[in-house]
Structure 1
Amino acid sequence: MATGRVMALDVGKARIGVALSDPLGYTAQPLLTIWRKGRGEDLRSLMRLIRRHEVTEIVVGNPLHMSGDVSPWAAKVQEFAEEIGARSGVAVHLWDERLSSVAAHEILDEAGHDRRDRKRIIDQVAAVVILRDWMQAREDGRVQQERGEAM
């Protein structure tokens, strides 16, 4: 069982969706959307959130191609994830996020949320999907507890 909060990030070119687990690692909730201003400022904002919410692990959505190959954007996200880990000292796990945005749109459709007003929350919901899927995989034993790697 996890102690401390797990943060999930859906890193996009314009926005970063952020979600948090409860302290026991059972549920995932949307936190906020960071509108990107530059690498340094984005990292400072994330470091503040990590400290404020006592984050012990971070899951970063890994935007692979549907084939499973590393996309150019995935390479940039992986580099960003490494920097977050180095700066924060917190374990960072990459998690395959293919179709997380599709799932996020489906969740918002089911909730009756207007498609024209999604930009401010879609990334948060995608981060919730990433975190929920990662926590379920960990519970199912598909993620190793010590290193957090997908098996």
Structure 2
Amino acid sequence: MALVDLSELAAVLATRRYRLLGLDLGTKTIGLAISDGLGLSATPVETIRRTKFTADVEALLKLCKAREVGGLVIGLPVNMDGSEGPRAQSTRTFIDNLSEKTALPMALWDERLSTVAVTRLMLEADLSRARRAEIVDKMAAAYILQGALERLRALAARGPEL
């Protein structure tokens, strides 16, 4: 399965309790976060240091299998005006290539300002520059995934459209 709308991802996951994995794709790293089994909260997991696509995907899919992941929520880096630039295109290319390696459904989530928000929280927590650099990507992935989880809960609360 390739890219789906977030509401379609909810329908796929409704058949069985699966965890979602959130991804913050950077040029040098991939931040990862996972949801709990109920889809209530996102927890930072790890950061994959990017090397080659094949190795990156192997590490990603190994984690998916070990953690019983049923779908991916991938941050889409759109510009502030809503347009898509080179980083968004790079994310879409990653998704196209990843969809050839896995049948997991994938949904996009607007990640505008996620790293800024996470960095602000870490500054308020008085984390050192080194510590912030170490965890910012997986924290951004958790921020992205938490936003998607909240949207999924809102969709479920609305119920079926008439």
- TM-score scaled by length of structure 1: 0.88
1 CA distance for matches of 2:25 and 2:128?
23
Question: Structure 1 residue 84: deviation in Å?
Answer: 2.4
What residue in structure 1 maps to residue 122 of structure 2?
Answer: 108
What residue in structure 1 maps to residue 55 of structure 2?
Answer: 41
Question: Structure 1 residue 104: deviation in Å?
Answer: 0.9
CA RMSD in angstroms, aligned pairs only: 2.0
Unaligned runs of 5+ in 2: 1-9
Deviates more, 1:20-29 or 1:105-114: 105-114
Q: One-letter code of the match for 1:107? A: L
Aligned runs of 1:2-151 on 2, under 5 Å?
A: 3-141=17-155
Identity %: 34
* SS, match of residue 20 in structure 1: strand
Per-residue Cα deviation, 1:29-85 (whole angstroms, up to 9, x for no partner): 000000011111111111111111110010000011111111111111112123323
Question: Structure 1 residue 109: deviation in Å?
Answer: 1.9
2 CA distance for matches of 1:83 and 1:50?
17
- TM-score scaled by length of structure 2: 0.82
Ranges of 4+ aligned residues in structure 1 off by more than 6 Å:
none
Question: Structure 1 residue 115: deviation in Å?
Answer: 2.4
Contact 1:78/1:94 (CA < 8 Å) preserved in 2?
no
Q: One-letter code of the match for 1:105? A: T
Unaligned runs of 5+ in 1: 146-151
Greater share of residues in helix: 2
* SS, match of residue 31 in structure 1: strand
Question: Structure 1 residue 23: deviation in Å?
Answer: 1.1
Q: One-letter code of the match for 1:23? A: G
1 CA distance for matches of 2:34 and 2:74?
12
**How many residues align structurally?**
144
2 CA distance for matches of 1:5 and 1:116?
30
* SS, match of residue 61 in structure 1: strand
Higher RCO (C-alpha 8 Å, min separation 6): 2
